[in-house]
Amino acid sequence: MPGTTRPSATNRPRRQAMAGSAAQRPARPGSAPGRRVAPVSAILLVAAALAAAPAGAGDLRVTLTVPMPEVVDMTGIHKVLVTRFVIDQEIADFDLNREIVNGLRRELSRRTELDILDIEPPPLPEQPLRDLIANTGFWQRLASRYGADLVIAGRAAFVVSDRSGFVQVDEISPVTGQRIRTSRFVDREAFTLDMNLFFLRGSTGALLYEDQLAADETYTGLFNDELSGLHTLFERLEDDIVGIIVPRPRTVQRILFTD
Amino acid sequence: MRAISLLLIFFITIVSMTPIGAGEALSAKEMMEFGLEAAKRGLWREAAFRWERSLKQAPDNPRLRNNLAVAYESLGDLERAEAEYREALRLDPENKKVRANYDSFKEIHRARHDKAQRDQPAPPSGDGG
Protein backbone atom coordinates (compact mmCIF):
# COMPACT_ATOMS: atom_id res chain seq x y z
CA MET A 1 0.00 0.00 0.00
CA PRO A 2 1.87 3.05 -1.14
CA GLY A 3 1.73 6.25 0.82
CA THR A 4 0.13 6.86 4.14
CA THR A 5 -3.29 7.20 2.59
CA ARG A 6 -5.79 4.70 3.84
CA PRO A 7 -7.77 2.87 1.19
CA SER A 8 -11.07 3.89 2.70
CA ALA A 9 -10.09 7.51 2.38
CA THR A 10 -8.64 7.36 -1.12
CA ASN A 11 -11.52 5.41 -2.54
CA ARG A 12 -14.01 7.99 -1.49
CA PRO A 13 -14.92 10.75 -3.88
CA ARG A 14 -12.36 13.54 -3.90
CA ARG A 15 -14.35 16.14 -2.18
CA GLN A 16 -15.51 13.76 0.47
CA ALA A 17 -11.97 12.63 1.09
CA MET A 18 -11.00 16.25 1.56
CA ALA A 19 -13.51 16.75 4.33
CA GLY A 20 -11.08 17.22 7.20
CA SER A 21 -8.90 19.59 5.27
CA ALA A 22 -11.74 21.71 4.08
CA ALA A 23 -13.06 22.09 7.57
CA GLN A 24 -9.73 23.34 8.85
CA ARG A 25 -8.83 25.62 6.01
CA PRO A 26 -8.95 29.33 6.71
CA ALA A 27 -12.06 30.85 5.22
CA ARG A 28 -11.48 31.86 1.64
CA PRO A 29 -12.52 35.30 0.52
CA GLY A 30 -16.02 35.01 -0.83
CA SER A 31 -16.82 31.81 0.97
CA ALA A 32 -20.17 31.44 2.64
CA PRO A 33 -20.39 33.89 5.55
CA GLY A 34 -22.02 33.17 8.84
CA ARG A 35 -21.05 29.51 9.15
CA ARG A 36 -21.55 28.45 12.71
CA VAL A 37 -19.15 26.06 14.34
CA ALA A 38 -19.96 24.37 17.60
CA PRO A 39 -17.40 25.48 20.26
CA VAL A 40 -16.17 21.96 21.13
CA SER A 41 -15.83 21.01 17.49
CA ALA A 42 -14.01 24.23 16.79
CA ILE A 43 -11.50 23.51 19.57
CA LEU A 44 -10.93 20.00 18.24
CA LEU A 45 -10.40 21.27 14.74
CA VAL A 46 -7.93 23.93 15.89
CA ALA A 47 -6.04 21.31 17.92
CA ALA A 48 -5.81 19.02 14.89
CA ALA A 49 -4.55 21.87 12.75
CA LEU A 50 -1.86 22.73 15.30
CA ALA A 51 -0.72 19.08 15.43
CA ALA A 52 -0.11 19.13 11.69
CA ALA A 53 1.78 22.41 11.74
CA PRO A 54 4.82 22.69 9.45
CA ALA A 55 8.17 21.78 10.97
CA GLY A 56 10.01 24.70 9.35
CA ALA A 57 9.28 27.88 7.49
CA GLY A 58 8.55 27.28 3.84
CA ASP A 59 8.66 23.53 3.93
CA LEU A 60 7.11 20.53 5.58
CA ARG A 61 8.63 17.14 6.22
CA VAL A 62 6.34 14.18 5.56
CA THR A 63 6.76 10.45 5.95
CA LEU A 64 5.74 8.14 3.12
CA THR A 65 5.53 4.41 2.87
CA VAL A 66 6.64 3.60 -0.64
CA PRO A 67 6.83 0.26 -2.38
CA MET A 68 10.45 -0.68 -2.94
CA PRO A 69 10.69 -2.68 -6.14
CA GLU A 70 12.33 -6.07 -6.28
CA VAL A 71 15.92 -6.15 -7.46
CA VAL A 72 15.64 -9.14 -9.75
CA ASP A 73 13.24 -8.93 -12.67
CA MET A 74 10.90 -11.78 -11.80
CA THR A 75 8.93 -11.76 -15.03
CA GLY A 76 8.15 -15.35 -15.98
CA ILE A 77 9.70 -16.79 -12.84
CA HIS A 78 7.47 -19.12 -10.84
CA LYS A 79 9.48 -22.13 -9.71
CA VAL A 80 12.49 -21.56 -7.52
CA LEU A 81 15.18 -24.05 -6.61
CA VAL A 82 17.36 -23.45 -3.56
CA THR A 83 20.56 -25.48 -3.73
CA ARG A 84 22.84 -26.48 -0.89
CA PHE A 85 25.09 -23.67 0.26
CA VAL A 86 28.84 -23.63 0.34
CA ILE A 87 29.75 -23.56 4.02
CA ASP A 88 33.05 -22.01 5.06
CA GLN A 89 33.30 -23.89 8.33
CA GLU A 90 30.98 -26.51 9.76
CA ILE A 91 29.46 -25.93 13.20
CA ALA A 92 29.68 -28.74 15.71
CA ASP A 93 26.24 -28.39 17.27
CA PHE A 94 24.04 -28.13 14.19
CA ASP A 95 23.95 -28.44 10.41
CA LEU A 96 24.51 -24.86 9.26
CA ASN A 97 23.68 -25.68 5.66
CA ARG A 98 20.34 -27.23 6.58
CA GLU A 99 19.43 -24.32 8.85
CA ILE A 100 20.24 -21.72 6.19
CA VAL A 101 18.54 -23.51 3.31
CA ASN A 102 15.45 -24.38 5.36
CA GLY A 103 15.21 -20.82 6.68
CA LEU A 104 15.52 -19.39 3.20
CA ARG A 105 12.91 -21.73 1.72
CA ARG A 106 10.52 -21.15 4.62
CA GLU A 107 10.68 -17.35 4.27
CA LEU A 108 10.36 -17.39 0.49
CA SER A 109 7.35 -19.72 0.73
CA ARG A 110 5.73 -17.64 3.43
CA ARG A 111 6.29 -14.22 1.92
CA THR A 112 6.07 -14.74 -1.82
CA GLU A 113 3.70 -16.35 -4.29
CA LEU A 114 6.56 -18.33 -5.77
CA ASP A 115 6.63 -22.11 -5.94
CA ILE A 116 9.67 -22.98 -3.83
CA LEU A 117 10.59 -26.53 -4.80
CA ASP A 118 10.27 -28.79 -1.77
CA ILE A 119 13.04 -31.24 -2.57
CA GLU A 120 16.32 -32.28 -1.04
CA PRO A 121 18.62 -29.36 -1.93
CA PRO A 122 20.97 -30.52 -4.67
CA PRO A 123 24.65 -30.44 -3.71
CA LEU A 124 27.12 -28.28 -5.57
CA PRO A 125 30.29 -29.65 -7.14
CA GLU A 126 33.54 -28.93 -5.35
CA GLN A 127 34.81 -26.07 -7.40
CA PRO A 128 35.84 -22.51 -6.55
CA LEU A 129 32.58 -20.64 -6.07
CA ARG A 130 33.35 -17.92 -8.61
CA ASP A 131 34.16 -20.49 -11.27
CA LEU A 132 30.99 -22.37 -10.46
CA ILE A 133 28.83 -19.26 -10.69
CA ALA A 134 30.32 -18.49 -14.10
CA ASN A 135 29.53 -22.02 -15.31
CA THR A 136 26.21 -21.23 -16.97
CA GLY A 137 25.91 -24.73 -18.43
CA PHE A 138 25.87 -26.27 -14.97
CA TRP A 139 23.09 -24.00 -13.69
CA GLN A 140 21.07 -24.44 -16.86
CA ARG A 141 21.23 -28.25 -16.56
CA LEU A 142 20.43 -28.13 -12.85
CA ALA A 143 17.40 -25.88 -13.42
CA SER A 144 16.22 -28.04 -16.30
CA ARG A 145 16.45 -31.21 -14.20
CA TYR A 146 14.16 -29.71 -11.52
CA GLY A 147 12.02 -27.52 -13.80
CA ALA A 148 13.17 -24.36 -12.01
CA ASP A 149 12.88 -20.86 -13.45
CA LEU A 150 15.27 -19.45 -10.86
CA VAL A 151 18.10 -21.04 -8.91
CA ILE A 152 19.30 -19.59 -5.62
CA ALA A 153 22.71 -20.67 -4.44
CA GLY A 154 25.10 -19.22 -1.94
CA ARG A 155 27.85 -19.32 0.60
CA ALA A 156 27.42 -18.96 4.35
CA ALA A 157 29.73 -18.53 7.30
CA PHE A 158 28.72 -18.51 10.95
CA VAL A 159 31.50 -17.41 13.24
CA VAL A 160 31.65 -17.32 17.03
CA SER A 161 34.29 -14.99 18.37
CA ASP A 162 35.40 -14.05 21.85
CA ARG A 163 34.91 -10.38 22.55
CA SER A 164 35.69 -10.48 26.25
CA GLY A 165 37.66 -7.62 27.62
CA PHE A 166 37.88 -4.78 30.07
CA VAL A 167 35.12 -2.22 30.09
CA GLN A 168 34.91 1.00 32.05
CA VAL A 169 32.04 1.32 34.50
CA ASP A 170 30.97 4.20 36.71
CA GLU A 171 30.07 3.30 40.29
CA ILE A 172 29.65 4.95 43.67
CA SER A 173 32.54 4.32 46.03
CA PRO A 174 31.31 2.65 49.24
CA VAL A 175 34.11 4.42 51.12
CA THR A 176 33.89 8.01 49.91
CA GLY A 177 30.41 8.04 48.33
CA GLN A 178 31.88 9.63 45.22
CA ARG A 179 31.35 8.45 41.65
CA ILE A 180 34.45 6.65 40.45
CA ARG A 181 35.33 5.02 37.15
CA THR A 182 36.75 1.52 37.28
CA SER A 183 37.72 -1.15 34.78
CA ARG A 184 36.07 -4.54 34.93
CA PHE A 185 36.62 -7.69 32.88
CA VAL A 186 33.47 -8.83 31.11
CA ASP A 187 32.95 -12.13 29.28
CA ARG A 188 31.33 -11.52 25.91
CA GLU A 189 31.04 -13.37 22.66
CA ALA A 190 29.86 -12.39 19.22
CA PHE A 191 27.98 -14.37 16.60
CA THR A 192 28.46 -13.31 12.98
CA LEU A 193 26.50 -14.55 9.98
CA ASP A 194 27.96 -13.73 6.60
CA MET A 195 26.25 -14.83 3.40
CA ASN A 196 26.67 -14.49 -0.34
CA LEU A 197 23.55 -15.10 -2.38
CA PHE A 198 23.46 -15.82 -6.10
CA PHE A 199 20.32 -15.65 -8.21
CA LEU A 200 20.61 -17.49 -11.52
CA ARG A 201 18.13 -17.65 -14.36
CA GLY A 202 17.11 -21.24 -15.02
CA SER A 203 16.60 -20.91 -18.76
CA THR A 204 20.09 -19.52 -19.44
CA GLY A 205 22.09 -20.27 -16.31
CA ALA A 206 23.14 -16.63 -16.25
CA LEU A 207 23.77 -14.81 -13.00
CA LEU A 208 20.97 -12.29 -12.51
CA TYR A 209 22.07 -10.81 -9.21
CA GLU A 210 24.39 -11.43 -6.32
CA ASP A 211 24.45 -9.90 -2.89
CA GLN A 212 26.48 -10.11 0.27
CA LEU A 213 24.63 -9.85 3.55
CA ALA A 214 26.03 -9.88 7.06
CA ALA A 215 24.78 -9.45 10.60
CA ASP A 216 26.38 -9.80 13.97
CA GLU A 217 25.37 -9.67 17.61
CA THR A 218 27.40 -9.51 20.80
CA TYR A 219 26.16 -11.33 23.89
CA THR A 220 27.22 -11.01 27.49
CA GLY A 221 28.71 -14.20 28.90
CA LEU A 222 30.15 -17.20 27.14
CA PHE A 223 28.62 -20.40 25.72
CA ASN A 224 25.47 -18.70 24.44
CA ASP A 225 23.13 -20.85 22.37
CA GLU A 226 24.58 -20.76 18.88
CA LEU A 227 21.50 -22.06 17.08
CA SER A 228 19.33 -19.34 18.65
CA GLY A 229 22.00 -16.83 17.71
CA LEU A 230 21.98 -18.05 14.11
CA HIS A 231 18.20 -17.75 13.87
CA THR A 232 18.28 -14.26 15.36
CA LEU A 233 20.82 -13.13 12.80
CA PHE A 234 19.01 -14.81 9.93
CA GLU A 235 15.76 -13.11 10.93
CA ARG A 236 17.56 -9.80 10.73
CA LEU A 237 18.55 -10.49 7.13
CA GLU A 238 15.22 -11.92 6.00
CA ASP A 239 13.74 -8.62 4.81
CA ASP A 240 16.79 -7.87 2.70
CA ILE A 241 16.79 -11.34 1.20
CA VAL A 242 13.08 -11.43 0.37
CA GLY A 243 13.30 -7.84 -0.93
CA ILE A 244 15.59 -9.06 -3.70
CA ILE A 245 12.76 -10.89 -5.40
CA VAL A 246 9.55 -9.24 -4.16
CA PRO A 247 8.62 -5.59 -3.67
CA ARG A 248 8.52 -4.44 -0.08
CA PRO A 249 7.30 -1.30 1.66
CA ARG A 250 9.79 1.20 2.95
CA THR A 251 9.32 4.35 5.01
CA VAL A 252 10.98 7.47 3.65
CA GLN A 253 10.97 11.17 4.42
CA ARG A 254 10.23 13.82 1.84
CA ILE A 255 10.12 17.61 1.87
CA LEU A 256 7.05 19.47 0.67
CA PHE A 257 7.03 23.19 0.02
CA THR A 258 4.33 25.15 1.73
CA ASP A 259 4.42 28.27 -0.43
CA MET B 1 -18.26 12.45 17.40
CA ARG B 2 -21.59 12.58 15.57
CA ALA B 3 -21.53 16.39 15.79
CA ILE B 4 -18.08 16.47 14.23
CA SER B 5 -19.17 14.11 11.47
CA LEU B 6 -22.16 16.31 10.69
CA LEU B 7 -19.90 19.33 10.72
CA LEU B 8 -17.49 17.69 8.28
CA ILE B 9 -20.33 16.69 5.97
CA PHE B 10 -21.50 20.28 6.07
CA PHE B 11 -18.08 21.48 5.00
CA ILE B 12 -17.82 18.83 2.30
CA THR B 13 -21.05 20.16 0.88
CA ILE B 14 -19.81 23.73 1.05
CA VAL B 15 -16.49 22.86 -0.56
CA SER B 16 -18.23 20.77 -3.21
CA MET B 17 -20.18 23.83 -4.20
CA THR B 18 -17.13 26.08 -4.37
CA PRO B 19 -16.18 27.30 -7.77
CA ILE B 20 -13.75 24.57 -8.91
CA GLY B 21 -14.75 23.81 -12.43
CA ALA B 22 -17.04 26.80 -12.42
CA GLY B 23 -16.21 30.27 -13.56
CA GLU B 24 -14.25 31.49 -10.52
CA ALA B 25 -11.26 29.20 -9.91
CA LEU B 26 -9.11 28.93 -6.83
CA SER B 27 -5.76 30.61 -7.14
CA ALA B 28 -2.62 28.52 -7.56
CA LYS B 29 -1.63 29.49 -4.03
CA GLU B 30 -4.93 28.33 -2.61
CA MET B 31 -4.69 25.07 -4.51
CA MET B 32 -1.18 24.63 -3.16
CA GLU B 33 -2.45 25.11 0.38
CA PHE B 34 -5.38 22.84 -0.23
CA GLY B 35 -3.04 20.13 -1.46
CA LEU B 36 -0.84 20.55 1.57
CA GLU B 37 -3.77 20.10 3.92
CA ALA B 38 -4.65 16.90 2.11
CA ALA B 39 -1.05 15.68 2.19
CA LYS B 40 -0.79 16.30 5.91
CA ARG B 41 -3.65 13.87 6.37
CA GLY B 42 -2.19 11.32 4.00
CA LEU B 43 -4.84 12.06 1.35
CA TRP B 44 -2.29 11.94 -1.44
CA ARG B 45 -4.75 11.40 -4.26
CA GLU B 46 -6.52 14.56 -3.26
CA ALA B 47 -3.22 16.41 -2.88
CA ALA B 48 -2.09 15.32 -6.35
CA PHE B 49 -5.41 16.44 -7.80
CA ARG B 50 -5.06 19.89 -6.25
CA TRP B 51 -1.45 20.34 -7.29
CA GLU B 52 -2.15 19.15 -10.82
CA ARG B 53 -4.77 21.89 -11.11
CA SER B 54 -2.43 24.39 -9.55
CA LEU B 55 0.26 23.43 -12.04
CA LYS B 56 -1.95 24.48 -14.92
CA GLN B 57 -1.72 28.02 -13.60
CA ALA B 58 1.96 27.87 -12.67
CA PRO B 59 3.70 25.27 -14.84
CA ASP B 60 7.16 26.70 -14.14
CA ASN B 61 6.90 26.46 -10.37
CA PRO B 62 9.59 23.95 -9.25
CA ARG B 63 8.25 23.83 -5.70
CA LEU B 64 4.85 22.79 -6.95
CA ARG B 65 6.39 20.15 -9.19
CA ASN B 66 8.36 18.82 -6.23
CA ASN B 67 5.19 18.47 -4.19
CA LEU B 68 3.45 16.76 -7.05
CA ALA B 69 6.38 14.36 -7.39
CA VAL B 70 6.10 13.44 -3.72
CA ALA B 71 2.37 12.84 -4.11
CA TYR B 72 2.93 10.60 -7.15
CA GLU B 73 5.65 8.73 -5.31
CA SER B 74 3.40 8.05 -2.36
CA LEU B 75 0.74 6.78 -4.76
CA GLY B 76 3.24 4.43 -6.37
CA ASP B 77 3.22 6.26 -9.70
CA LEU B 78 6.99 6.26 -9.96
CA GLU B 79 7.22 7.20 -13.63
CA ARG B 80 5.35 10.43 -13.12
CA ALA B 81 7.12 11.09 -9.82
CA GLU B 82 10.49 10.88 -11.51
CA ALA B 83 9.35 13.10 -14.36
CA GLU B 84 8.19 15.77 -11.91
CA TYR B 85 11.36 15.60 -9.81
CA ARG B 86 13.45 15.99 -12.94
CA GLU B 87 11.37 18.89 -14.16
CA ALA B 88 11.59 20.56 -10.75
CA LEU B 89 15.36 20.26 -10.87
CA ARG B 90 15.49 21.50 -14.42
CA LEU B 91 13.60 24.60 -13.32
CA ASP B 92 15.64 25.08 -10.14
CA PRO B 93 18.90 23.10 -10.35
CA GLU B 94 20.30 24.65 -7.16
CA ASN B 95 17.38 23.70 -4.92
CA LYS B 96 18.92 21.40 -2.31
CA LYS B 97 15.63 20.20 -0.92
CA VAL B 98 14.35 19.06 -4.29
CA ARG B 99 17.75 17.47 -4.92
CA ALA B 100 17.57 15.66 -1.56
CA ASN B 101 14.11 14.32 -2.40
CA TYR B 102 15.22 13.17 -5.83
CA ASP B 103 18.45 11.59 -4.61
CA SER B 104 16.55 9.62 -2.00
CA PHE B 105 13.95 8.67 -4.60
CA LYS B 106 16.65 7.38 -6.92
CA GLU B 107 18.39 5.46 -4.18
CA ILE B 108 15.23 3.69 -3.15
CA HIS B 109 14.05 2.95 -6.63
CA ARG B 110 17.52 2.33 -8.01
CA ALA B 111 16.69 -1.03 -9.52
CA ARG B 112 13.77 0.39 -11.44
CA HIS B 113 15.73 3.52 -12.27
CA ASP B 114 18.69 1.53 -13.57
CA LYS B 115 16.43 -0.67 -15.62
CA ALA B 116 14.75 2.39 -17.14
CA GLN B 117 18.14 3.85 -17.97
CA ARG B 118 19.20 0.58 -19.62
CA ASP B 119 15.96 0.35 -21.57
CA GLN B 120 16.37 3.83 -22.99
CA PRO B 121 18.28 3.74 -26.27
CA ALA B 122 20.15 6.95 -25.51
CA PRO B 123 19.72 9.55 -22.78
CA PRO B 124 18.62 12.99 -23.98
CA SER B 125 21.52 14.68 -22.19
CA GLY B 126 24.58 13.77 -20.16
CA ASP B 127 22.78 12.63 -17.03
CA GLY B 128 25.22 10.92 -14.74
CA GLY B 129 22.55 9.50 -12.47
Could you give the CA distance from residue A95 to residue A193 in angstroms, rounded to a whole number? 14
Q: Which residues of A touch B24 (CB under 8 A)?
A: 30
Query: Under an 8 A CB cutoff, do B97 and A257 touch?
Result: yes
Q: Is residue B98 part of a domain?
A: yes
Whether the per-residue pLDDT at A63 is higher than 50: the answer is yes
User: Residue A198: its pLDDT value, please?
Assistant: 96
User: Residue A211: its pLDDT value, please?
Assistant: 93
- Mean pLDDT, residues A125-143: 93
Q: Among partner residues B7, B18, B26, which is closest to A38 by beta-carbon distance?
A: B7
Q: Is residue B125 part of a domain?
A: no
Q: Which residue, among B29, B46, B73, B106, would best test binding to A if mutated, counting the most A CBs under 10 Å from its CB? A: B46
User: Residue B117: its pLDDT value, please?
Assistant: 56
Model confidence at B114, in pLDDT bands (50, 70, 90)? low
Q: Is residue B67 part of a domain?
A: yes
Whether the per-residue pLDDT at B82 is higher than 60: the answer is yes
Shortest alpha-carbon distance between residue A73 and chain B (Å): 9
Q: Which residue, among A255, A258, A259, would best test binding to B if mutated, counting the most B CBs under 10 Å from its CB? A: A255
Q: Which residue, among A11, A12, A50, A66, would best test binding to B if mutated, counting the most B CBs under 10 Å from its CB? A: A66
Q: Is residue B122 part of a domain?
A: no
Shortest alpha-carbon distance between residue B110 and chain A (Å): 9
Residue B116 touches chain A, beta carbons under 8 Å: no
Query: Under an 8 A CB cutoff, do A2 and B75 touch?
Result: yes
User: Residue A104: its pLDDT value, please?
Assistant: 95
**B96-108 and B110-119 are packed helices; what angle lies between their axes, rounded to 10 degrees?**
90
Q: Is residue B87 part of a domain?
A: yes
| Residue B17 neighbours by CB under 8 Å, 6+ apart | none
Could you give the CA distance from residue A60 to residue A52 in angstroms, rounded to a whole number? 10
Phi-psi label, residue A117: left if phi above 0, alpha if psi -120 to 50, beta otherwise: beta
Which residue on chain A is closest to B115 by alpha carbon? A73
Q: Is residue B4 part of a domain?
A: no
Contact present, A70 and A112 (Cβ < 8 Å): no
Could you give the CA distance from residue A200 to residue A153 in angstroms, rounded to a whole number? 8
- Is pLDDT larger for residue A22 or for residue A161? A161
Give tens-digit pLDDT for A87-112: 988 888 889 999 999 999 999 999 99
Q: Is residue B11 part of a domain?
A: no
- Mean pLDDT, residues B115-119: 53
User: Residue B68: its pLDDT value, please?
Assistant: 96
Instruction: Give phi and psi for A220, each to the nearest 5.
Output: -80, 140
Q: Rounded to an integer, what is the distance from CA A253 to the centroid of its chain?
A: 17
| Residue B11 neighbours by CB under 8 Å, 6+ apart | A19, A22, A23
Model confidence at A251, in pLDDT bands (50, 70, 90)? confident
Helical (H) or strand (E) element with B84: helix B78-91
User: Residue B29: its pLDDT value, please?
Assistant: 79
The enclosing domain of B41 has a CATH number of: 1.25.40.10
Query: Whole-model pTM?
Result: 0.59
Range of the domain at B109: 25-116
Q: Among partner residues B29, B46, B67, which is closest to A14 by beta-carbon distance?
A: B46
Cα separations in angstroms, A94 against A120, A157, A196, A216, A219: 18, 13, 20, 18, 20
Phi-psi label, residue B55: left if phi above 0, alpha if psi -120 to 50, beta otherwise: alpha
Q: Which residues of B touch A37 (CB under 8 A)?
A: 7
Give tens-digit pLDDT for A157-195: 999 999 899 988 888 888 888 998 888 898 999 999 999
**Average pLDDT of chain A, as a whole number:** 79
Q: Among partner residues B12, B36, B49, which is closest to A258 by beta-carbon distance?
A: B36
- Is pLDDT larger for residue B68 or for residue B111? B68
Question: How many domains is chain B partitioned into structurally?
Answer: 1
Question: Any idea which of A11-20, A60-69, B29-38 has the lowest mean pLDDT?
Answer: A11-20
Q: Is residue B20 part of a domain?
A: no
User: Residue A247: its pLDDT value, please?
Assistant: 84
Question: Any idea which of A160-174, A208-222, B2-16 has the lowest mean pLDDT?
Answer: B2-16
